């Protein structure tokens, strides 16, 4: 299964969720690419759309390798297994966390100038364009739970089996159109996979649309 674009993936995912009768009170996308998918899902389900800001915590010596994740308003999750298997200098890790926290705060100010939406007692559907490790999505699920949501569901066009297993332990439900044992990277499942810009995300948000 290959999707033409994030928009088309969002439409396919939205139609699938509607056919399954999935009920949510709000749809939150993980910026930046996940926001594009989530906006289409929210439109099809006729539910409010917003974003939940997350940041990957990369290994100090190999920043693309995730050893944890941040999520607004103040969630910090570290992957103990990854840290145990890949030696990390704590002071260097703290520098990465501080840097990513500053970036998260910048995005909060940009995407949520009036503050976070109220998630208390709501059924929240978290959407991304794909799940590789599931690290940032796990931080997002933790954040939503801490905001006293009634239920937290995760929906994506494509995911690795490990990510689905990881999230099934923390979310109420995990839905993926494709779970591929041969998963390598999210981009391999899209014909068009450009980097989503901050302006594109802001244009999708209710406060800016």
SS3 201: helix
Query: For residue range 2-42, what is the model confidence (pLDDT) as tens digits?
Result: 999 999 999 999 999 999 999 999 999 999 999 999 999 99
Q: Residue 11: which of 95, 129, 134 has the closest Cα?
A: 129
CA-to-CA separations, 164 to 30, 170, 173, in angstroms, rounded: 16, 10, 10
Query: For residue range 46-95, what is the model confidence (pLDDT) as tens digits?
Result: 999 999 999 999 999 888 888 999 999 989 999 888 887 878 888 999 99
pLDDT of residue 1: 86
Residues 6 or more apart whose Cβ sits within 8 Å of residue 157: 3, 9, 10, 12, 13, 37, 129, 130, 176, 177, 178, 189
∠ Cα 26 145 25 (to 5°): 15
Residue 117: φ, ψ to 5°: -70, 150
SS3 40: helix
Cα gap 179→155, rounded to integer Å: 12
Cα gap 9→5, rounded to integer Å: 6
Domains and their CATH numbers in the chain: 6-53+114-204 (3.40.50.2020), 55-111 (3.30.1310.20)
Average pLDDT of the chain is 94
Residue 208 has pLDDT above 60, yes or no: no
Q: What percent of the chain has pLDDT over 70?
A: 99
């Amino acid at each position: 299964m290959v999707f033409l674009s994030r928009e088309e993936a969002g439409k396919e995912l939205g139609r699938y969720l509607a056919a399954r009768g999935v009920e949510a009170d709000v749809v939150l996308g993980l910026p930046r690419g996940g926001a594009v998918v989530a906006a289409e899902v929210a439109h099809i389900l006729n539910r409010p759309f917003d974003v939940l800001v997350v940041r990957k915590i990369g290994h100090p010596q190999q920043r693309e390798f995730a050893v944890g994740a941040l999520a607004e308003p103040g969630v910090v999750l570290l992957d103990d297994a990854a840290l145990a298997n890949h030696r990390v200098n704590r002071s260097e890790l703290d520098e990465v966390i501080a840097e990513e926290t500053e970036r998260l705060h910048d995005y909060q100010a940009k995407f949520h100038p009036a503050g976070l939406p109220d998630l208390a007692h709501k059924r929240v559907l978290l959407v991304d364009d794909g799940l590789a490790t599931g690290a940032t999505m796990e931080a997002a699920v933790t954040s939503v739970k801490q905001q006293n949501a009634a239920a937290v569901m995760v929906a994506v066009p494509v995911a690795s089996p490990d990510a689905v297993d990881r999230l099934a332990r923390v979310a109420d439900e995990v839905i993926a159109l494709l779970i591929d044992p041969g998963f390598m990277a999210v981009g391999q499942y899209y014909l068009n996979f450009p980097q989503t810009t901050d302006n594109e995300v802001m244009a999708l948000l209710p406060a800016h649309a």
